[in-house]
Amino acid sequence: MPAKRELPMRQIRQMLRLARDGVSAREIGRTLGVARSTIQDNLKRAAAAGLAWPLAGDLTDAFLNNVCSPMPASSVGTAGAPSQIGARSPANLSGLASI
C-alpha cells in the first residue's frame, strides 16, 4: 500500500476550516487535490489531538505537522516481521567489494 501523502500546513489549515463548514472528506480532497483517505486520516489525527477550526493562535506549524503527519515507517513495530539475519546491510556487504 502506498504511503499516505503529507499535507503542507496551508492545506491542513484549509482542511480543518472546510471540515468545520460541513464539507465532506471527498469534496475536501477534490478541493485540495489529494485522496479522500488522506483527508480522512488527517481529520482523525486532528480530532484525536483535539484540534478544530478555528485554531488557537499559538499553534505552530511544527506542532500541526507532528499531529497530522503519518507515522514514519521506523516507528511502526516489527513484531512478526521476517528475520533480518543475513540482511544486506553495509556492514555485511563490505567483503563483497573485494570479490
List, for residues 36-70, the tens digit of each pLDDT value: 999 999 999 999 988 888 888 888 888 887 777 76
What is the distance, to the nearest Å, from the Cα of residue 77 to the centroid of all Cα atoms in its chain?
A: 16
Contact present, 38 and 4 (Cβ < 8 Å): yes
Residue 18 has pLDDT above 90, yes or no: yes
**Distances in Å between the alpha carbon of 19 and those of 22, 65, 68, 73, 81?**
5, 18, 15, 28, 37
pLDDT bin (cut points 50, 70, 90) of residue 87 is very low
